[in-house]
Homo-oligomer: A and B are copies of this chain.
Amino acid sequence: MRTWAILILSAIMTTTFPEITHGDEGMWLPNRLPNDYLKKTYGFEPDQAWVDHVRQACIRFGRGGSASFVSPDGLIMTNHHVGATSIAKLSDSEHDYLKDGFYAPTRDAELKCEGEELFSLVEIRDVTDQVQSAAKPGMTAADASAARDAAKSQIEKSATEETGLRPEIVTLYGGRQYHLYLYKVYTDIRLVFAPEQGIAFFGGDISNFGYPRFNLDISFFRAYENDKPVKPESYLKWCNGGVSENDLVFVVGHPYRTQRINTAAHLGLLRDVELPMILAAYNQLEVELFQFQDESEEHRRIATDMLHGVQNGRKAFKGILEGLLDENTMKAKNALEKELKAFINADPKRVAEWGDPWKDIETALNKTKDVFPAYYLAENRRMRMPTQFRVAKHLVRMAEELDKPDAERLSEYRDANLESIKRGIIATGPIYPDLEQMVLTDALMRMARMLGGDHALVKAALDGKRPAERAAELLRGCKLIDQAERERMLEGGKEAVANSKDSMIEFAKLLEVFARPLRKQIEDEWESVETDAYTRIANAMYAKYGESVYPDATGTLRFSFGTVKSYEEQNKTIPALTSIGGAFELSREHKNADPFNLPESWLKSEKKLNAAVPFNYVSTCDIIGGNSGSPTINRDGEIVGIIFDGNIQALIWDIQFTQEQARGVHVDSRAIIESLKQVYGADAMVKELVGSSM
């Protein structure tokens, strides 16, 4: 059992630049930075203290999304769109903090975010041997998977008892390695500052994933413990200056998921089955949300956050699909596979050890791909359901799962995660009946559209009624909108669920009949095969390319790096940096019409603002969803910005890195200070941010 410091040390000594990465590619493990490449290319050698300091300052929002400590008093910076769910929960028909912004000039004005959690990584342990040795030779893929699950459960349990920290076992390289991450969890998080959505999301859905940009996509929170601001072990200082074109910068955050190891056959599933299905669901819901929000001012307020989430997802998934339709993507993938297959086939020992994992994946997919639609729908994978249904489903599942040994439970109900689930059930935030009705109707219609009216799942879900009628009936008989009722059900456990006549709980039980076997089938016939096959591919890659191949993103802390860099598009150079003045120009071009309408506060402050201050910039840093809110730091570990987006060419990064045009998009740290001062008069916060460094 090695600890953090030792791992880092060994990593620094052994890491070399891998041949199969390109330029600034890579979401590197905190304990495996590509130091040779950094030194060779940028003349930069981060030492362990640098890495430790940064690692300790960078944190993760519970729901996903990145952030960092930016003051000695627990001040946290993230994106506006990462904080948006909390900001929306704090709002009501009198206070629309999402639309109008918020600022607490003093500590006692800060607003507590119920249900929010922040994860701070304390330690990483390599537990590969313990996990892998649980699976014995000769076991089926499904049995091996169950054996590994049992080992993981035991490791988590011991770690919790030993450290009191929240454990998470991270599967790296598709199963080649297992690391135990131990987190300190903060649960008292308070809102300090949010700008108006109009400037945080200036240009709206049109500009999202576009460039040039002019977005103040930031929000600030503060972590508390025992009602006092947290003194974090480490925090990032503000840079007294900023970046220029070609500067080396780092992005340190929690990329949620990439699929770069995926085989061509697996990418085919993504292209032909999963993405079309997800996009159809997103399109359907987006159209419904558009109608819903136009119905009244209140509907607009309560649906905004969901609409932005759906639009963002739609654009991201569409971008991946577009990339997959470009034959160059598949060509590159096929070339890599050919090379690796040749490497295996060149030696009978390799063949004996790794076989043909590509073929195994293809076979498993051909066997299971027709099950995916029903599985996605029954299990609500990337399929929005109303809040009360999500609560009901958790209650129904917990009633069954909590009786089982930890290792045999559905993974999300392991002890390590249970506290978060329970917190989510209680602190749902406001539940809006109109929105619940719309979302449930949409969900029922989605099932019917994707599976057909004669499918058993659809027949059970609709019970012979029109979707809207059935949704109304289910919501009428549901009391889970009431927090006390949710607490009572959680308290009552298995017996309360068994005796419940709540229509949504009954509905969740009804769907469970379909969801359980579908999930089991996918886990047994696809996911366990997938893990096994990718482990073999990763092992072969390791054998051929060396240790430093970075693993696909896993929602855990990663270091990316790159340079601030302009790019060419349709024979035009897109400059790396924009300026505050550019926002006003663009707004005027559009006659200040939605979504290019600047907030009143900005219009009033135009004369005070320095138009030349850089607003946003792009870099070659390798990022993906989940990196939102990651601090951008310079060689000195100081904040020079914050990641909030990638351009449209970067969407393909989910499956393949390129850096000809693809870029991450940052808010410039100078624009943050300039607007906090000139637009928001947030002097106390500015002082807290720059006091120690400027």
Contact = CB atoms under 8 A, between A and B. Distances in A.
A453 interface: yes
A468 B271 CA distance: 17
Interface residues of A, number: 50
Nearest to A269: B452
A469 B326 CA distance: 10
11 contacts: A205-B291, A206-B294, A271-B448, A271-B453, A273-B452, A283-B283, A286-B287, A287-B287, A321-B448, A322-B467, A326-B464
Interface stretch (A213-221, A338-346, A375-383, A587-595): A587-595
Contacts of A450: 276
Contacts of A324: 453
Q: Which of A273, A322, A454, A591 has the most CB of B within 10 A?
A: A322
A200 interface: no
A466 interface: yes
Contacts of A326: 464-466, 469
A416 to B, nearest CB: 38
Contacts of A590: 296-297
Interface in A54-82: none
A449 interface: yes
A314 B279 CA distance: 17
Contacts of A287: 283, 286-287, 314
A272 B466 contact: no
Contacts of A595: 294
Contact of A297 (B280, B297, B467, B593): B593
Interface in A311-329: 314, 318, 321-328
A377 to B, nearest CB: 13
A290 interface: yes
A693 interface: no
Contacts of A271: 448, 452-453
Interface of A: 204-206, 268, 271-273, 275-276, 279-280, 283-284, 286-287, 290-291, 294-297, 314, 318, 321-328, 445, 448-450, 452-454, 462, 464-469, 590-591, 593-595
A476 B279 CA distance: 29
B593 A327 contact: no
A309 to B, nearest CB: 14
A275 B284 CA distance: 13
A468 B296 contact: no
A294 B210 CA distance: 14
A635 to B, nearest CB: 37
A531 to B, nearest CB: 26
Taking the full assembly, how many copies of this chain does it contain? 2
Contacts of A206: 291, 294-295
A464 B327 contact: yes
Contacts of A295: 206
Q: Which 10 A-B pairs have the closest CB atoms?
A: A327-B464, A272-B452, A283-B283, A276-B449, A322-B466, A271-B453, A326-B466, A280-B280, A283-B287, A283-B284
B268 A325 contact: no
B322 A449 contact: no
Nearest to A293: B206
Nearest to A276: B449
B449 A279 contact: yes
A445 B452 CA distance: 23
A314 B445 CA distance: 13
A296 B314 CA distance: 21
A205 B453 contact: no
A485 B206 CA distance: 35
Contacts of A297: 590-591, 593
Contacts of A314: 287
A371 B343 CA distance: 42
Contacts of A275: 449
A421 to B, nearest CB: 33
A568 to B, nearest CB: 15
A138 B296 CA distance: 63
Given A205-B291, A276-B448, A290-B290, 8 more contacts: A206-B295, A280-B284, A283-B283, A283-B284, A297-B591, A321-B445, A327-B465, A328-B464
Nearest to A462: B325
A591 B314 CA distance: 31
A204 B294 contact: yes
A139 to B, nearest CB: 34
Nearest to A448: B325
A283 B450 CA distance: 14
A448 B594 CA distance: 32
A648 to B, nearest CB: 9
Contacts of A321: 445, 448-449
A323 B275 CA distance: 29
A448 B321 CA distance: 9
Nearest to A327: B464
Nearest to A286: B287
Contact of A453 (B272, B279, B284): B272
Contacts of A279: 284, 449
A326 B464 CA distance: 6
A655 to B, nearest CB: 13
A570 B454 CA distance: 28
A200 to B, nearest CB: 17
Contacts of A594: 294
A466 B325 contact: yes
A224 to B, nearest CB: 39
A468 B651 CA distance: 15
Q: Which of A272, A590, A595 has the most CB of B within 10 A?
A: A272
A454 B325 CA distance: 10
A384 to B, nearest CB: 15
A325 B471 CA distance: 13
